[in-house]
Amino acid sequence: MVEKLLTKLRGKDHRAAYRAIPALCRLNDASVAAIVACYTPKDEQRRFQLEVAQIALRDGIGGLAREWPRLGTGEQRRVLLTEISQFWNEWAGAGTVELAIAALEEADDKVRGYALLCAKAAMGDGSVTPEQCARITQALVKAMARHNERPTDLFWLDKYVELLGLTANASDQQVIARLEGLRAFAGASRRTVTQKFDPDNLPHPHPKHGWPEGLPKPAYRVLDTGTGLLEIRILESALKQIRTRN
């Protein structure tokens, strides 16, 4: 079993490599860390995989939280967060919650966005302590404050609002005020428009001439487009959850 996991760890499939890391950590075998430390990576991706594994095996997954800002590139960290969120049940634990909180401090909106997925997964399995919950709330507010003038420019604003609905409570008046301030940027996030066609002048890509005999021409086209607004139902739901939580 160990050799199979180690093979995945040093392989080209980054998804398999990342899934091998928590499995190796659960073995609680100090010799595994020594073996991984001896590997020579064949490329940059595998170098990153091995670095993450060495830290996790040596210091626990929580050790990744302490090293997070200096680990690899922003894109490598984003991919790692993506994999952790998708396989949260394999990574779940106090150390991974700390990793998610550390990643919420990312300067890059997009990388930080994937930390939201990890934090939400942690909230879902009940592994977040009240103290960690408060720190997640603080990190979310701090990130949102960077976009005070244009809140909707924040990557995945709706997910910030959803997560605040899970972490904040009625005493967090600053959070409530910030969310109330988003009403000016909220509404229906999608808009459906029905366009009626002129059968003698169909738009591209329908042919204007030579329409197949016996084939009925389309009469309508339904378009579903984004409005750029924060979904009002998400905002209302978050505020309701916060106000009912002591």
Mean pLDDT by 10 residues, the chain (246 residues): 95 97 94 94 96 96 95 97 97 96 96 97 95 98 96 97 98 98 97 90 84 88 93 98 96
- How far is 128 from 240, CA to CA, in rounded Å? 21
pTM of this structure = 0.88
Angle formed at CA 66 by CA 9 and CA 41, multiple of 5 degrees? 25
Looking at residue 93, the DSSP 8-state letter turns out to be S
Query: For strand 186-187 and strand 230-231, is the pairing parallel, antiparallel, or unpaired?
Result: parallel
Query: Helices 2-9 and 30-37 sit at what angle, rounded to 10 degrees?
Result: 40
- How far is 136 from 39, CA to CA, in rounded Å? 36
What is residue 107's predicted lDDT score, i.e. its pLDDT? Answer: 94
Q: Which of 156, 171, 135 is nearest to 245 (CA)?
A: 171
Neighbour-count burial of 86, counting CB atoms closer than 10 A to its CB (0-12 exposed, 13-18 middle, 19+ buried): middle
